[in-house]
Amino acid sequence: MDIMFNTAVLASDPVRRQQILSILEAALQAVNPFKAVQSALHVEKDTLWIGEHEYMLSNYENIYVVGAGKASTPMTQAIEALVGDRISGGLVVTKSEHGGPTKRVQLAEASHPVPDELGVDGGRQVLRIAEAAGQDDLVITLLSGGGSSLLVAPAVGLTLDDLQLMTNALLRCGATINEINILRKHCSAVKGGQLARAVAPADLVTLVLSDVIGNPLDVIASGPTVPDSTTWRDAWTIIERYDLLEQIPMAILGRIQAGLQGAVPDTPEPGDPLFERSVVEVIGDNRIAARAAADQAQLLGFDTLLLTTYLEGEAQEVAKVAVSLAKEILSTHQPLQPPACLILGGETTVRLGDDPGRGGRNQELALAAAIALEGIENVTIVSLATDGTDGPTDSAGAMADGTTVARGRAEGLSARAHLQNHDAYPYLDAVHDLLLTGPTQTNVNDLIFVFVY
């Protein structure tokens, strides 16, 4: 996986920004999905090792590979390189334009973040493969960021349109990915441990490239192969919390109410015996990427600190915190001495209005930081989506410094107006502060950097 950033972003400060790009590249290379799979698995003659778990491949009548996520292509290619023609077949769903060549496992492409009919077709095929697996079979499941939107199998009585309307409502209200996935699990035939229910009694191995803060297995890709600790009550509470009763389709509201009344079974919970032959391995996450970035920054002479990988909150508010940390370093040289690189990992949110412009949470964070940094020298704030796609745009995020607002003003643009309209993309594009990589085919949340010189 070769990561190439756009060179236009170097224009305003070539030397410093080239250093920054090398740090971002190190972070992305550290969570290369192909390498992550091959590091987690080991095949020796007829034995497949996953951590301390041993699988004699010749004991299985069939080995199937299923799954979903933005990293599906390299993860599938890595499994095929390891297990080869022992694989009987399978299907893995990835995001549109994220596909690639495979030999034994079929790759399907579908829409993200709002599911489409291709995702429904893929989800149903994955479910059929899982249900066909028997006592003497092995099912390897590959999950990565985006899996919740890409692995779609609407529950009985629900339609794709219902799921699309629900997903849009949750994205617009600023719900966290954890909250969104609780609703998704309770509207699906495959999420929330239900894929594992379909696979049983076959052996099940799940490899996870985590895009969720803290790596909660029941949240990543909506936990299709692990127990679900959430309930119908949790789902209903989220709808009430964000005042979504008028925006969620009646079919979904009716299903959740039926679940609350015990008329619809809940997702399989911890302790369910169907998980006895199931193993889950997290092969990459935000902390691995952040640590790699910190190592590269130190090699380049930065005093470096990884502050957290649990960052959450509104993008504009997080931007203010990032700038305040930069000001502290400038003023007191605490907690770092310039040149300094402070790293935060996690995922912010944006609460959109009725008619938002173009952008994503990382672009919004960068633009908000630019406004707070206006006129301040020797500080650069970077916000990066590790999957290369920030919101519904081709941007991976953006950089901002004390000149970003002035450069926009010279183009006749108002940074505050663009921020108010959630329209960061055209502004940052005009001042050449966007980060562009194309699909990175990995996804381990976001990384925010505070550079002080």
- Residue 377 contacts by C-beta under 8 Å, 6 or more apart in sequence? 402
User: Could you list the pLDDT tens digit for every one of the 453 residues in the chain?
Assistant: 678 899 999 999 999 999 999 999 999 999 999 999 999 999 999 999 998 999 999 999 999 999 999 999 999 999 999 999 999 999 999 999 899 999 999 999 999 888 899 999 999 999 999 999 999 999 999 999 889 889 999 999 999 999 999 989 998 998 987 899 899 999 999 999 999 999 999 999 999 999 999 999 998 998 999 999 999 999 999 999 999 999 999 999 999 999 999 999 999 999 999 999 999 999 999 999 999 999 999 999 999 999 999 999 999 999 999 999 999 999 999 999 999 999 999 999 998 878 899 999 999 999 999 999 999 999 999 999 999 999 999 999 999 999 999 999 999 999 999 999 999 999 999 999 999 999 899 999 999 999 999
Distances (CA, A) of 86 to 91, 105, 137, 143: 15, 11, 12, 21
Question: Residue 1: its pLDDT value, please?
Answer: 60
Kindly report the three-state secondary structure assignment for every residue of the chain.
Answer: CCCCCCHHHHCCCHHHHHHHHHHHHHHHHHCCHHHHHHHHEEEECCEEEECCEEEEHHHCCEEEEEEECCCHHHHHHHHHHHHHHHCCEEEEEEECCCCCCCCCCEEEEECCCCCCHHHHHHHHHHHHHHHHCCCCEEEEEEECCCHHHHCCCECCCCCHHHHHHHHHHHHHHCCCHHHHHHHHHCCECCCCCHHHHHHCCCEEEEEEECCCCCCCCCCHHHCCCCCCCCCHHHHHHHHHHCCCCCCCCHHHHHHHHHHHCCCCCCCCCCCCHHHCCEEEEEEECHHHHHHHHHHHHHHCCCEEEEEEEEECCEHHHHHHHHHHHHHHHHHHCCCCCCCEEEEEEECCECCCCCCCCCCCHHHHHHHHHHHHHCCCCCEEEEEEECCCCCCCCCCCEEEEECCHHHHHHHCCCCHHHHHHCCCHHHHHHHCCCEECCCCCCCCCCEEEEEEEC
Answer whether 292's CB lies under 8 Å from 26's CB: yes
Distances (CA, A) of 377 to 253, 326, 373: 52, 11, 8
| Torsion sign (Cα): 370, 372, 374, 380 | negative
Tell me the C-alpha distance between 83 and 102, whole Å.
13
- Residue 333 contacts by C-beta under 8 Å, 6 or more apart in sequence? none
Question: Residue 89: its pLDDT value, please?
Answer: 97
Question: Residue 355: its pLDDT value, please?
Answer: 84
Tokens representing 340?
């300094």
Answer whether 220's CB lies under 8 Å from 195's CB: no
Task: Give which of 155, 160, 129, 156 is closest to 142, Cα–Cα.
Answer: 129
Tokens representing 230?
């959430």
Answer whether 152's CB lies under 8 Å from 119's CB: yes
